[in-house]
């Protein structure tokens, strides 16, 4: 198969990111597939925050051109190529859903690059697994993988309920709940 043909091959973004990230993303994908509500016309199901395409469904096909484009766009506050598509898709979410829909962030809660846009648009409806506090990527990946295998969903709390100082979480959340 020639290079031109290989460049046109597309794979689901969840599969590609799992290959690139290993345990951390494998845990995210397994957990999301086990516990996310199936996507319908009004439900998004599981999505991935990208650097320049906003939210992509877990099984959206991407190719080498997409990966190359992702690598050239930093995930950073103030970066319009990141923020504008993400905010567009988040705004679409709230216009398409009902006010009781909750969204679970399976990424880092210690950095504003993800949390700021989510909280500013989704508010109290964006939740995170409480057990993520104080854990690194690999530990979170293993945790999600274990819970996806046992079928026990993690306890969640509103993202707005944590206080951060720099990159360290200053207090634990006491109001955790299961979905």
Q: Do residues 124 and 158 touch, judged by C-beta distance below 8 A?
A: yes
DSSP letters for 23-88: HHHHHHHHHHHHHSPPP-SS---SEEE-SSS-EEETT-EE-HHHHHHHHTS---TT-HHHHHHHHH
Query: How many CA atoms, within 13 angstroms, populate the side-chain half-sphere of residue 161?
Result: 17
Please give the pLDDT value at position 72.
96
Digits of tens for pLDDT over the chain (179 positions)? 555 656 678 999 999 999 998 888 999 999 999 998 755 544 567 899 999 999 999 999 999 999 999 999 999 999 999 999 999 999 988 887 777 788 999 988 888 888 999 999 999 999 999 999 989 989 999 999 999 999 999 999 999 988 554 444 434 444 455 55
Please give the pLDDT value at position 169.
44
Q: Do residues 125 and 102 touch, judged by C-beta distance below 8 A?
A: yes
Domain chopping of the chain, boundaries = 3-169
Global confidence as pTM: 0.82
Strand arrangement, sheet containing 126-129: 103-104, 126-129, 156-158
Please give the pLDDT value at position 93.
84
Rg (CA), the chain: 16
Please give the pLDDT value at position 147.
97
Residues in Cβ contact with 58 at an 8 Å cutoff, skipping those fewer than 6 apart: 12, 13, 14, 29, 32, 33, 36, 45, 46, 47, 48
Query: How many CA atoms, within 13 angstroms, populate the side-chain half-sphere of residue 166?
Result: 1
């Amino acid at each position: 198969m020639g290079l031109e043909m290989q460049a046109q091959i597309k794979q689901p973004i969840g599969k590609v990111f799992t290959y690139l990230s290993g345990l951390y993303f494998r845990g995210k994908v397994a957990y999301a597939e086990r516990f996310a509500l199936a996507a319908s016309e009004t439900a998004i199901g599981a999505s991935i925050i990208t650097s320049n395409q906003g939210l992509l469904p877990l099984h959206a096909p991407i190719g080498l051109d997409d990966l190359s484009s992702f690598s050239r766009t930093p995930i950073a506050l103030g970066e319009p190529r990141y923020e504008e598509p993400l905010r567009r898709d988040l705004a679409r979410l709230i216009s398409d859903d009902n006010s009781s829909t909750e969204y679970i962030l399976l990424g880092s809660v210690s950095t504003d690059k993800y949390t700021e846009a989510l909280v500013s648009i989704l508010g109290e409806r964006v939740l995170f697994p409480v057990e993520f506090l104080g854990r690194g990527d690999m530990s979170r990946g293993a945790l999600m993988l274990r819970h996806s295998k046992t079928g026990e969903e993690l306890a969640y709390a509103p993202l707005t309920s944590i206080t951060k100082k720099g990159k360290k979480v200053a207090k634990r959340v006491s109001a955790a709940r299961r979905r």
